[in-house]
Amino acid sequence: MGFAEDFSNALVKINEFLSSGSYEPYSELIDFLFFSLLFISVYMIGARYAFRELGKPEKMIAVVLGIFTSLLLVLEGFSITLLLPYVQWVLYILVFIVTSFLLKGIKSKFLRFVLALLITLLLIGLMSGFFAELELPEIGI
């Protein structure tokens, strides 16, 4: 067996795990881990600005806040799946921010905003047209 076959078998097993719904008993754990990583990262960034120095006590505060925030969200019933409809908007905003950053040489803020918006809309249109024409290959198992 080569690497490609091992990788293909691993992807097939992951696909079966997700498509059969075998992940459902672990969904709250998955949500907790996702939210923990997200909020620990956010609190670490905030701690850097709040405390000026990021020593061990400050890192521990950020980690504890991140874990407890994610625990409270999971206990309240929030899930990653509630965020899925908004993923495309986050990606659109990221494309706009990157485009605006690349146009940093333009002095006029209004012109930079308009050009970044137009380029972002053009990229979104091109990519949506490109992905609309893609077809998934058949995988023989």
Domain membership of residue 141 (yes or no) is no
pLDDT of residue 141: 61
Task: Quickly count: other Cβ atoms within 10 Å of residue 137's Cβ.
Answer: 6
Residue 32 predicted with pLDDT over 90: yes
Q: Per residue in 54-80, pLDDT tens? A: 888 889 999 999 999 999 999 999 888
| Residue 97 maps to a domain | yes
End residue of a domain, out of 54, 82, 110: 82
**Same-domain status, 91 and 58:** no
Give Dmax (Cα) for the chain.
59
* 3-state secondary structure labels for all residues of the chain: CCHHHHHHHHHHHHHHHHHCCCCHHHHHHHHHHHHHHHHHHHHHHHHHHHHCCCCHHHHHHHHHHHHHHHHHHHHHCCCHHHCHHHHHHHHHHHHHHHHHHHCCCCCCHHHHHHHHHHHHHHHHHHHHHHHHCCCCCCCCC
Averaged pLDDT score across all residues of the chain: 88
Please enumerate in sequence order all residues whose Cβ is within 8 A of that of 80, keeping only pairs 6 or more positions apart, or say none. 30, 31, 34, 35
Same-domain status, 57 and 15: yes
- 119 or 9, which is more confident: 119
Identify the domain containing residue 15 by its residue range: 1-82
CA atoms within 13 A on the CB side of 3: 0
Does the pLDDT at position 1 exceed 70?
no
Q: In terms of domains, do 54 and 29 share one?
A: yes
In terms of domains, do 114 and 125 share one? yes
Does any domain span residue 7? yes
69 found inside a domain = yes
Quickly state the pLDDT bin for 120 (edges 50, 70, 90). very high
Kindly state whether residues 69 and 102 are assigned to the same domain: no
Q: What pLDDT score was predicted for residue 132? A: 79
Percent of the chain at pLDDT > 90 equals: 45
Q: Let me know whether 3 and 69 are in one domain.
A: yes
pLDDT mean over 39-51: 90
47 plus 89 within the same structural domain: no
